[in-house]
Amino acid sequence: MVKKILVVDDSALIHQMYRLVMNGYKCEIVDAMDGQEALDILARQHDIQLVLLDINMPVMNGIRFMEKAAAIGITSKIPIIIISTEGKEADTVRGLALGARGYLKKPFQPSDLHVLIDKVMTGAAVPANGEYASPPAAAAF
């Protein structure tokens, strides 16, 4: 079970929502308001087990975060799930190609997030059904 999750989103309300949704996991939630802050946190805290990443943020957006994270090897060590209202297929495909393990579109049901986290954390295949996708070529939007 995941013990420490980094939530990267520029909305304080979304951070509160994740705390409620993840309450059953009994895990610690660490907040970052943009991609640069997330990279800074990952450089200091080596016990993050999962990243939930928004795409549209100021300072450094989710795609730029993925590019930098992939370049320094973070994406091979820590699973990243893109969770965003952004519906741009190109951004989703790019994020998955850079190493994101799944995608979930906001708004979502808490049970969908739980299923996706469980699949990602156990290494199970993530279905490509339009809500979340694993291989970039399978993303259908």
Distance CA 7, CA 19 (A): 10
H helices, E strands: number in the chain: 6, 5
Q: How far is Cα of residue 96 from the mean position of the Cα atoms in its chain?
A: 10
Where do the DSSP E strands lie in the chain? 4-8, 28-32, 50-53, 80-84, 102-105
- For residue 129, give the CATH number of its domain: 3.40.50.2300
pLDDT at res. 136: 36
Its pTM stands at: 0.86
Helix axis angle for 110-122 and 12-21, nearest 10°, is: 70
Domain boundaries, position 71: 4-138
pLDDT tens sequence across 13-72: 999 999 998 888 888 999 999 999 999 999 999 999 999 999 999 999 999 999 999 999
Domain count, the chain: 1
pLDDT tens sequence across 90-105: 888 888 889 999 998 8
- The candidate with the shortest Cα–Cα distance to 104, out of 80, 133, 76, 78, is 133
Cis peptide leading into 127, omega within 30 of 0?
Answer: no
